Every structure is written in structure tokens, then in C-alpha cells.
Amino acid sequence: MRFLMVILALLVLLLTAARVAAEGKTGAKSAAELVGGYTIVAGEKEGKPEPAERLKDITVRFTKDTIRVTDKDKKETYVATYKVDPTRKPWSITMTGTLAPNKGEVAKGLIEKDGDTVRLIYALPGGKLPTGFKTEDKQLLFVMKNLNK
């Protein structure tokens, strides 16, 4: 009987390890799906649309762990490391700024990739964590299209 209990315990450990490994692979795959260059096609801040002129020619580049935003003059305006949690739908994202004036600032939100479109919503400092893709007070939303499509 004791032998059977040990075998069952080992089986549970093996299944748990396999699940954790699969989740880890999903996370890597999810971040890899974001890799590439995008242009911002729409935005929203605190419930109001961002003017198209303000978003014109802004590009966003995702690597496996970094986001770089450049303006129309190709100047970096935001750089952050990021992590996604693909176990949720939409994925949760945590970004940590690495470029002044946002260096060390943590922003949390949601991100979703559908074909060549990425939607990203996040809370500004002091803002409430978003629960969907509609902004509230102290939240920003960007819709991006892949540059290569």
C-alpha cells in the first residue's frame, strides 16, 4: 500500500512538472508571436480617442522581452522590458520602463494579438488595472498593425 502511495505521489509530481513546462513553452511562444514592428493606427486615453495626428508615424518594435516606441523623427520615446502571462485571455502584460522619464516605472495591462493587429491597454501610475479594451481614468489603449503586412 505504501509503495502504491509513493507511485501516485511521483505521478502527481510528474504531471505537475509537465503542466508547468507546457505553460512555460506557451509563454515563450506568446511573446514570440509579438516580435516585430508595428505602426499605431488608433489610440484612446481616459475614454477619449487620441487624435490621429498625434499617433501618425509612431512605430512600436517588440523583441522577445523589450518594447521600443519611436516617434515620427525616429527618436525613442518609450523603452521597456515586458513579460506576458499567456494563461489568461487576453494576456496580461507587465512593462518596466528602462528609458527616462519612465525608467523603473511599472505599467500593467492587457495585450491581445489577432492576425496582424495588436491591442494593448495599460494603466498609467495611479490608474486601475484594465479589465477590457475600453479605457477609463488613467489608462491608455493602442491598436497597432504589423509593418510587414
pLDDT of residue 25: 44
CATH number for position 128: 2.40.128.280
pLDDT of residue 29: 66
- Interval 94-103: pLDDT, tens: 999 999 999 9
pLDDT of residue 4: 34
pLDDT of residue 17: 37
pLDDT of residue 32: 86
pLDDT of residue 138: 96
pTM above 0.75, yes or no: yes
129 is in which domain, residue-wise? 2-146
Mean pLDDT value of segment 108-120? 96
Number of domains composing the chain? 1
CA–CA distance, 23 with 41 (Å, rounded to integer): 32
pLDDT of residue 122: 97
pLDDT of residue 28: 54
pLDDT above 90 covers a percentage of the chain that reads 72
